[in-house]
Amino acid sequence: MQKAFKSLRRSWPLYLMMLPGIAYLIINNYIPMTGIVVAFKQYNVRSGLYHSPNIGFKNFEFLFKTNDAWIIVRNTLLYNLAFIVIGTVCAIIVAILLNEVKSTAAKQIYQTVILIPFLISMVVVSYLVFAFLSDGNGFLNKTVLPAMGKEAISWYNSPQYWPFILIFVNLWKGLGYNSILYFATICGIDYSLYEAAIVDGANRWQRIIHITLPSLRSTIIILTLMSLGNIFRSDFGLFYQVPMNSGTLINVTNTIDTYVYRGLTQSNNIGMTAAAGLYQSAVGFVLVFASNIIVRRIDNESALF
Partner 1 sequence: MVEKDRGFQIGINIVMILITVMCLAPFVLLIMSSVTDEQALIVNGYSFFPKKLSLEAYHYVLADSTSMLRAYGLSFLVTIIGTLCNLVITTLFAYPLSRKELFGRGFFAFFLYFTMLFSGGLVPTYIMWTRMFRIQNTFFALIIPGLLMSAFNVIMMRTYFTTNIPEAVIEAVRIDGAHEFRILWSIVLPMAKPILATILILVGLGYWNDWTNGLYYINDDRLYTVQVLLMNIQRSMEAIKQSMQQGGQAVTGAINMPSTAVRMAVTVMCILPVMIVYPFVQKQFVKGIAIGAVKG
Q: Does 305 bind partner 1 (CB under 8 A)?
A: yes
Instruction: Map residue 236 onto helix, strand or coil.
Output: helix
User: In the complex with partner 1, which residue's Cβ is closer, 15 or 164?
Assistant: 15
Binding segment for partner 1 among 68-76, 79-87, 153-161, 221-229 (CB under 8 A)? 221-229
Q: Does 200 bind partner 1 (CB under 8 A)?
A: no
User: In the complex with partner 1, which residue's Cβ is closer, 164 or 285?
Assistant: 285
Instruction: Map residue 41 onto helix, strand or coil.
Output: strand
Instruction: Map residue 54 onto helix, strand or coil.
Output: strand
Name which position in 116, 196, 209, 293 contacts partner 1 (CB under 8 A).
Answer: 116
Binding segment for partner 1 among 71-79, 158-166, 175-183, 206-214 (CB under 8 A)? 175-183
User: CA triplet 111, 114, 120: central angle to 5 degrees?
Assistant: 125
Q: Does 192 bind partner 1 (CB under 8 A)?
A: no
Name which position in 100, 190, 251, 293 contacts partner 1 (CB under 8 A).
Answer: 100
Contact positions with partner 1 (CB under 8 A) in 135-154: 136-139, 141-143
User: In the complex with partner 1, which residue's Cβ is closer, 75 or 258?
Assistant: 258
Give 52's contacts (C-beta < 8 A, 6+ positions apart): 38, 41, 42, 43, 44, 271
User: To the nearest whole angstrom, how small is the minimum distance from the Cβ of residue 195 to partner 1?
Assistant: 16
Neighbours of 269 (CB within 10 A): 16
User: To the nearest whole angstrom, how small is the minimum distance from the Cβ of residue 305 to partner 1?
Assistant: 5
Name which position in 2, 3, 151, 300 contacts partner 1 (CB under 8 A).
Answer: 3
Residue type, 209: I
In the chain, which residue ranges form alpha helices assigned H by DSSP? 2-25, 31-34, 48-51, 58-65, 67-100, 104-114, 122-133, 139, 145-147, 162-187, 191-199, 204-207, 213-229, 236-240, 250-253, 256-266, 270-298
Binding segment for partner 1 among 69-77, 118-126, 156-164, 189-197 (CB under 8 A)? 118-126
- Which has the closest alpha carbon to 165: 139, 126, 120? 126
Contact positions with partner 1 (CB under 8 A) in 222-281: 222-223, 226, 236-237, 241, 244-245, 257, 260-261, 263-264, 270, 273-274, 277-278, 280-281
Evaluate whether 128 touches 136 at the Cβ level (below 8 Å).
Answer: no
User: In the complex with partner 1, which residue's Cβ is closer, 96 or 193?
Assistant: 96
User: In the complex with partner 1, which residue's Cβ is closer, 75 or 141?
Assistant: 141
Contact positions with partner 1 (CB under 8 A) in 57-86: none
Instruction: Map residue 52 onto helix, strand or coil.
Output: coil
User: In the complex with partner 1, which residue's Cβ is closer, 191 or 305?
Assistant: 305
User: In the complex with partner 1, which residue's Cβ is closer, 30 or 57?
Assistant: 30
Give 209's contacts (C-beta < 8 A, 6+ positions apart): none
Separation of alpha carbons 223 and 229, rounded Å: 10
User: In the complex with partner 1, which residue's Cβ is closer, 249 or 274?
Assistant: 274
Name which position in 53, 102, 105, 297 contacts partner 1 (CB under 8 A).
Answer: 102
Q: Does 22 bind partner 1 (CB under 8 A)?
A: yes
Buried b (16+ CB within 10 A) or exposed e, 9-38: eeeeeeeeeeeeeeeeeeeeeeeeeeeeeb
